[in-house]
Structure 1
Amino acid sequence: KRAVAKGQVGVNPTTGLSLPAVRGKRDRIASPKEACQLIGALPAEDRPLWATAMYAGLRRGELMALRWEDVDLAAGVIRVERSWDSKEGEIEPKSAVGRRTVPIATVLRHHLVEQRIRAADPEGRVFGTGSQPFSPTRVRVRASKAWTKAELEPITLHEARHTFASLMIAAGVNAKALSTYMGHANISITLDRYGHLMPGNEAEAAGLLDAYLNRAAA
């Protein structure tokens, strides 16, 4: 810009240039114990939302758009069919792989059952009022107050999604399955973001193999 102003060049060669996102410190990830503590410290009405972010890994927009018709408690799955945009409202998922089926773990199921019992509209939003989704700002403020009172380090919905990925990896879920559950366009995105959490040294790899062989022989 300075060179253009001085007349040294006619056109700024960087105009319109899109730079890749700068990744600094990694997002916060809660441990299994911490995840449980964070959810437990919340007001009862907010626990199902954060539990779904933490144990199903849905994006914020997907949580906002989620309807009860997308939650199949009998089959034990959540079908991600839509998302929510602050300007456009309900929208299609970002890509074809955004439409996906995510398993409901037992630790999440009881939260969703309680939310279903409280639901005024069985055909409305899972986390909202009728057709209107929850307010991310209000949810964040309530959670922050609860966690500060409990002397817990706050976490965001985005970081809760990362926590889901880390828990799945620690549980032994393979990268391809995790990529599907996260709604990533391809497995390389999953490996790039979460590869540092996956077993990477010889001792860990050997330990996993030994554990598998022991289970197979039992």
Structure 2
Amino acid sequence: MAVRKRQWKTSKGEAREAWTVDYVDQHGARHIKTFDRKKDADRYHAAVNVEVMEGVHAHERGSITVKAAGEAWLEAAAANGLEAATLAQYRQHLRLHIEPYLGAVLLANITPATVRKLEDDLKLGTPPPGAETGKPRSPALTRKVMVSLSSIVADAQERGKVARNVVREVRARRTRGADSRSERRQRGRLKVGTDIPAPAEIRAIVEHLEGRWRPLILAAVFTGLRASELRGLTWRDVDLDAAELHVRQRADRFNSIGKPKSDAGNRTIPLPPILVNALRQWRLICPRRDGALELVFPNGRGKVESLANIINRGLIPPQIAAGIVEKRTDTEGRPVVAARYTGMHALRHFYASWCINPRSAGGLELPPKVVQDRLGHSSIALTMNVYAHLFPRGDDAGELAAAERALLG
């Protein structure tokens, strides 16, 4: 393995020179790569020498494009039984955010600079090659796309199509905690009245619940179940005599029933009397599928209810009726009145705040670990990252004065 200077003359008699790296890989195949500058050749020579010694070198002739690697990655994910919703998300990452910028690039030619440029282009909305316009991606989406790119390269690395996972190396050099804190700062804390319905708003919503949507919205308010968990809940997992329900499955956006998001998603949640009574009444008229009573909140044919129906027919109308609205503009700039909370996760946030709030404010005043269990979070860190600011501080003026008197007499 050596770095050599090569000189020659063109057909017009002009002098040219370049630097070549001549080496034999771990399989005994000879390769020659040319560089304009000696320092680039030396750098490549040093890297290849280590890769060949470790038996992981992959020459670009044996490499594949990012697009081809992405297709192989998706095929492997599908073969491993990854659920349809996750596959669809990965496919969007590849088609919409990775392929337009790097689809034709060989994996062997991806450098740390390539990775950083993609990340910057996604955040800034720089148009991909051949396009005239681009759209900025949020920091959260950009991070997810980069994780998918890292997984694509890792899969290709296992197949021997590339020697290094440059994406993972770039991410490893960063402080992930700092990235997470930065993302949270940009997103901001959840605010009551903006992200979390206030208790008075919940009371107004409950007063205006009607028909088949009443038990469903009450369940969302008083159990904090994710929309997918509500859509997949079955009557065999609801014990009205014991006033509790068990989360054991969920329905994804393709209406396929599967396991909860994580092991922590399997949990038991107590039910308040208002919800128990509503469910007893609803069970008598709940639509059945093929004559059997299965899903708790099905559509009219007893099958999985769509999330759009739940939002548009169950969540938004009682808010409009209760006056929980905001003035906005439509696509043509005309003023419209819209419901303040347009996603079911707002009710999950309320449930979390209800679990946290002190009893004097009508809450349950539960400790953080119990709140984590009720919400089905995989770690206490996740619960505290989202809801820490809602927990009582315990250091207000009155408590500080009492502590001072106890200490100093």
2:376 to 154, 176, 183: 183
The gaps in structure 2 that reach 5 residues or longer are 1-100, 102-108, 119-144, 148-178, 326-338, 358-363, 404-409
**Identity of counterpart residues, as a percentage?**
26
**Structure with larger Rg:** 2
The alignment's TM-score, normalised by the length of structure 1, stands at: 0.81
Equivalent residue number for residue 150 of structure 1: 322
Equivalent residue number for residue 251 of structure 2: 84
CA contact (8 A) 1:69 1:123 kept: no
The alignment's TM-score, normalised by the length of structure 2, stands at: 0.45
Structure 1 position 169 matched with structure 2 position 375: no
Equivalent AA in structure 2 for residue 32 of structure 1:
P
Separation (CA, whole Å) in 1 of partners of 2:351 and 2:255: 28
Aligned residue pairs, count: 202
Structure 1 position 118 matched with structure 2 position 285: yes
Distance 1:126 1:200, change over 3 A: same
1:109 CA displacement: 1.7
Separation (CA, whole Å) in 2 of partners of 1:158 and 1:202: 31
Equivalent residue number for residue 127 of structure 1: 297
Equivalent residue number for residue 98 of structure 1: 265
Equivalent residue number for residue 136 of structure 1: 307
RMSD between aligned alpha carbons? 2.8
1:120 CA displacement: 3.6
Q: Which has the higher contact order (CA 8 A, sep 6+)?
A: 1
Separation (CA, whole Å) in 2 of partners of 1:204 and 1:112: 44
1:31 CA displacement: 2.4
Separation (CA, whole Å) in 1 of partners of 2:355 and 2:223: 10
Distance 1:204 1:185, change over 3 A: farther
Q: SS at the partner of 1:167?
A: helix
Equivalent AA in structure 2 for residue 101 of structure 1:
T
The gaps in structure 1 that reach 5 residues or longer are 2-8, 211-218
Separation (CA, whole Å) in 2 of partners of 1:136 and 1:168: 25
Structure 1 position 44 matched with structure 2 position 211: yes
Q: SS at the partner of 1:165?
A: helix
CA contact (8 A) 2:287 2:302 kept: no
1:10 CA displacement: 6.9
1:140 CA displacement: 1.5
Deviations 1:124-178 (A, max 9, x none): 1110145512122122112323422331233221110010000011121111111
